[in-house]
Amino acid sequence: MAQQPAIEPMHQFLIEKIWQGPVFQLGGLNVDMSITNSVASMLAGALMLMAFFALTARGEIVPNRGQALAESLYNIVDRVLVTPIIGHGGRPYVPYLFTLFCVILVLNLMSVVLSVGHLAGQDWTFAVTSQLAVTATLAVLTFFSILALGFIKHGPKFLGLFWVPGMGIAGGAAMVVIEMISYFVRPVTLAMRLFGNILGGHVVMSLFGSFVIALAIVGLSGGLASLAFIPSVLSFSMIVALSGLELVVAVLQAFVFTALATVYLNEVVNFGHGH
């Protein structure tokens, strides 16, 4: 009987060098400029985004399909998130939120569409947002940018965000600690939510893909073992269903990440309103 392939669902998340770049020291740290599969995927995503908007930014009164799609993506951020949550005061921050939404959306969709390559044994595909370092960078950058904006706009008064009125001195001091813990845990939840959903989905798809191959090999043995083709086909059907679900999750997680960033930004722009 042929040897069945090992089931290694985590192998697809390994970072591997595809081009050795220069290595130098900066402040006592080794800086490696090599191109990895993660970096290559992010560069590919950035190029696709730039190409898409370069081709669709026509400004025509009657938009074509590409321009209509680009405007729809913009309206998701501008009219669905920023305007209802923040109001017109949030318009200056739409470009950042729109960029954040598009970057996460493209990387998520790439990870789902190109995940077929892993099921076929190819190593050139990579799910960037399944890496905690990437999602944490996006979360920390967003969180501390909003925090810095709060102090720039309101100065020391921004610390009033952590004070709950009507609690007295002792109760208020205790609530300050609780509020600060709740506030500074936000980048952790932002990063973990996106990372966990993408990672979990790809692991499940990889497992079902392994079942398809392993059970098909067993079925080729003939005789009673040929019944293994039935669960193999069922596993393949699950991959098809999960692929559709993962596409929905890819869009939804980009929306949720941007929506939470908009909510956090609202506390800065409309500071003191209803707090």
Residue 248: partners with Cβ closer than 8 Å, 6 or more residues away: none
Q: Give me 71's structure tokens.
A: 């405007």
CB 235 within 8 A of CB 215: yes
pLDDT at 123: 53
pLDDT at 117: 52
What's CA 228's distance to the chain center, in Å?
37
d(CA 217, CA 232) in angstroms, rounded, equals: 9
- What are the E-state strand segments in 41-154? none
Residue 144: partners with Cβ closer than 8 Å, 6 or more residues away: 187
pTM for the full predicted model: 0.86
Residues of the chain with pLDDT under 70: 1-11, 59, 115-125, 272-275
How buried is residue 103: exposed, middle or buried, by Cβ count under 10 Å (0-12/13-18/19+)?
A: buried
How buried is residue 173: exposed, middle or buried, by Cβ count under 10 Å (0-12/13-18/19+)?
A: exposed
Regarding beta strands 35-36 and 17-19, do their DSSP bridges make them parallel or antiparallel, or are they unpaired? antiparallel
Q: Give me 195's structure tokens.
A: 């990372």
CB 79 within 8 A of CB 101: no
pLDDT at 144: 95
Residue ranges covered by each domain of the chain: 36-269
pLDDT at 7: 56
How buried is residue 113: exposed, middle or buried, by Cβ count under 10 Å (0-12/13-18/19+)?
A: middle
pLDDT at 9: 66
The residues that bridge with 25 in the sheet, in sequence order, are 30
Which single residue is written with the structure tokens 């193999």?
A: 232
Phi, psi of 194 (to 5 degrees): -65, -45
CB 207 within 8 A of CB 9: yes
d(CA 167, CA 165) in angstroms, rounded, equals: 6
Specify the amino acid at residue 104.
Answer: I
pLDDT at 81: 94
Please give, one letter per residue, the 3-state secondary structure of 60-107.
CCCCCHHHHHHHHHHHHHHHHHHHHHCCHHHHHHHHHHHHHHHHHHHH
Residue 246: partners with Cβ closer than 8 Å, 6 or more residues away: 112, 115, 201, 202, 205
pLDDT at 275: 46
DSSP code of residue 82: I
